[in-house]
Amino acid sequence: MPPSYWTNESVLLFAGGRDPVEAIEEAAETLVLDAAENGWAGPPFDPFDLARILGIPVVAKQELPDARTVPAGRAGKVVIEYNPTRPPQRLRFSLAHEIAHTLFSDVSKAARHRANPAGGPADAWQLELLCNIAAGEILMPTDSLPDLREGPLEIERLMDLRRQFGVSTEALLRRVTKLTTGAVAVFAASRVDSKRADSSFRLDYTVNSRAWAPTVRRGQKLPHDSVLAECTAVGFTARRRETWSDALRDVDVQAVGAPPFPEHRFPRVLGMLHPRGSVRSVPDIEIAVLHGDATRPQGPGEKGRFCSFRG
């Protein structure tokens, strides 16, 4: 990965020359461990209780679109403000995301919004990305889902588990990667041009399981006709066998649309890479149930006609 990939001032200050993703994971794990020693328990892991343990005031403000961290007057002190009318799962993740902002030493210099306002730095998404990663670590500490160590890692089943446990897709996929004994790499990607449907994709980060050997390069570009382009809305899933590089030939790709970065038009895409044949893929004879809009079929090839029946 070229050194210029990370450019955000807060991110560079925080990382101090280390890989920012590794640094934020370690910081979040330390925060969780310290909180557990002070009585924080789960699952479910309550971010409101964590804020109380950390001494961070949390204030409800219905006029906010989501949540934000704002300076509290005294040097280094902040307050988290949030919209209490947001859906419970989003609210939990938003609060964990804002707690993650407090891991950055310059957090009190300016308000931090999960939905960053227009006119902010062009690389603000890098800070938001790291806070999303930390939020996942906060809501799902290691080994909180031991039942995921075995069994097929199919994206639709995992989406059902995400709803069952009340966590984000990103948090769940990252945790699965740490728990599984199989070969899998989790990725997050976004369009290079956030306003164009035909834009190519950029891999924002990857996380490999212990059994995954191939190298997946962060920052790698993927063509606009990748299966990732079929995830046109949050929650839409897609599968296909693709070749991403010489080291990644005929890998099974499973993908799902995720909430976009602030000010971006199209969803981010999260997903998993598997060695060929280790999971079902769309070309197989077996029926694969995908989430999406049946009136707007995605992907190459002919599609069947849709019929409606009344009993």
The residue that leads in pLDDT, 156 or 55, is 55
Q: Where are the beta strands (DSSP E) in the chain?
A: 58-60, 67-71, 78-82, 112-113, 185-191, 201-208, 221-222, 237-242, 251-258, 268-274
Tens digits of residue pLDDT in 169-203: 887 888 888 888 889 999 999 999 988 989 999 99
Instruction: Return the pLDDT at 243.
Output: 93
User: Which pLDDT band, with edges at 50, 70 and 90, does 149 fall under?
Assistant: low
> Can you give the pLDDT at residue 208?
92
Domains 3-139 and 152-274 share a fold: no
Residues composing the chain: 311
Bond preceding residue 259 cis, omega within 30 of 0: no
Mean pLDDT of 33-57: 92
Q: What is the pLDDT of residues 79-98, one digit of tens each?
A: 999 999 988 888 998 999 99
HSE-CB at 179 with a 13 A cutoff on CA atoms is 20
Residue 308 has pLDDT above 50, yes or no: no
Angle between helices 169-179 and 155-165 (to 10 degrees): 110
Sign of CA dihedral 60, 72, 112, 168: negative
* Cβ atoms of residues 266 and 230 within 8 Å: no
Non-local (6+) Cβ contacts of 12 within 8 A are 6, 20
Provide, rounded to the nearest whole percent, the portion of the chain with pLDDT above 90: 46
pLDDT band per the 50, 70, 90 thresholds, residue 310: very low
| Separation in Å, CA 180 to CA 94, 146, 153 | 27, 9, 9
pLDDT-based confidence at residue 288 (cuts at 50, 70, 90): very low
Residue-level pLDDT at 251? 93
Q: What is the mean pLDDT of the chain?
A: 82
Class of the CATH-defined domain 152-274: alpha beta
pLDDT at 145: 66
Statement: 3-139 belongs to CATH 1.10.10.2910? yes
Instruction: Enter the pTM of the model.
Output: 0.61
| Maximum distance among all Cα pairs of the chain, rounded to whole angstroms | 67
Q: What is the mean pLDDT of residues 154-161?
A: 86
Cα gap 18→22, rounded to integer Å: 8
- Could you tell me the residue ranges of all domains in the chain? 3-139, 152-274
* pLDDT number for residue 307: 34
Q: What pLDDT score was predicted for residue 147? A: 62
Structure tokens at 75: 């040097």
